[in-house]
């Protein structure tokens, strides 16, 4: 059996506008200078606490905590109005991969369980995933804990698994856990950064993603 693990934000879900708007609201409410949009997107994939520590290194912990709570409240409010869309082709790709008898799908995301469950329910994709690992239960990426837990859940060896993501944190996490890695070009970190992080494959479409997954897992199995 093979295991294919997906990141969510920037890989399956186009949540950029929701994230930037919620982060802006949280930072402004805490009275802190507003980073650029690109700086905000650079920490997507980390846990909120780790992301704010990296984004706002000079702010005291009390203010960073205010930003985290403000972000959560703002993101939840925006999600009630409109759940972020999936990237075109994401649902169809999940359906095809989940239909393979030799393959299980999983998630490893910096999202909260509540946020992930809401996204999966809205788009009808929850049933595709055998294992869902979230920020509530693990250290922040790039720590390998989420991938290791997904492997344990599925009873799959690292050599039979692949991690797919759009950030260097995803690639570093996968490599630390000993699984193959695929970087996607349509997310939040530039493709050159993913290459430098050591991604085994880089893809610019979901069709190419499916081919890369098959090639990597057949080659390692």
Domain edge (last residue) among 81, 100, 134? 81
pTM score over 0.85:
yes
Residues 105 and 180 in one domain: yes
* Domain count across the chain: 2
pLDDT tens-digit readout, 170-207? 999 999 999 999 999 999 999 999 999 999 999 999 99
Domain edge (last residue) among 81, 105, 127? 81
Per-position DSSP letters for 151-193, written without gaps between them: HHHHT--GGGEEEEESSHHHHHHHHHHT-EEEEETTSSS-HHH
Residues 74 and 9 in one domain: no
Q: Which residues are catalytic?
A: 7, 9
Residue 170 structural domain: 2-14+85-220
pLDDT tens-digit readout, 7-65? 999 999 999 999 999 999 999 999 999 999 999 999 998 999 999 999 999 999 999 99
Are 125 and 53 within 8 A, CB to CB? no
Domain edge (last residue) among 81, 97, 129? 81
Residues 63 and 159 in one domain: no
Residues 138 and 72 in one domain: no
Are 137 and 164 within 8 A, CB to CB? no
């Amino acid at each position: 059996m093979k295991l294919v693990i997906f990141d969510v934000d920037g890989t399956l879900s186009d949540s950029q506008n929701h994230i930037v708007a919620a982060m802006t609201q949280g930072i402004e409410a805490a009275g802190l200078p507003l980073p650029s949009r690109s700086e905000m997107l650079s920490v997507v994939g980390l846990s909120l606490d780790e992301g704010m520590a990296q984004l706002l290194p000079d702010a005291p912990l009390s203010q960073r905590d205010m930003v985290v709570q403000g972000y959560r409240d703002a993101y939840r409010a925006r999600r009630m109005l409109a759940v972020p869309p999936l990237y075109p082709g994401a649902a169809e790709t999940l359906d095809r991969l989940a239909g393979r008898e030799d393959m299980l799908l999983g998630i490893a995301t910096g999202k909260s369980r509540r946020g992930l469950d809401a996204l999966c329910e809205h788009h009808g994709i929850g049933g595709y995933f055998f294992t869902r690992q979230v920020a509530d239960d693990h250290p922040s990426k790039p720590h390998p804990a989420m991938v290791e837990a997904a492997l344990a859940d599925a009873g799959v060896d690292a050599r039979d698994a692949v991690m797919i993501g759009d950030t260097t944190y995803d690639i570093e996490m996968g490599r630390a856990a000993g699984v193959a890695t695929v970087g996607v070009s349509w997310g939040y970190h530039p493709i050159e950064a993913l290459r430098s992080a050591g991604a085994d494959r880089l893809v610019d479409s979901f069709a190419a993603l499916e081919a890369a997954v098959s090639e990597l897992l057949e080659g390692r199995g």
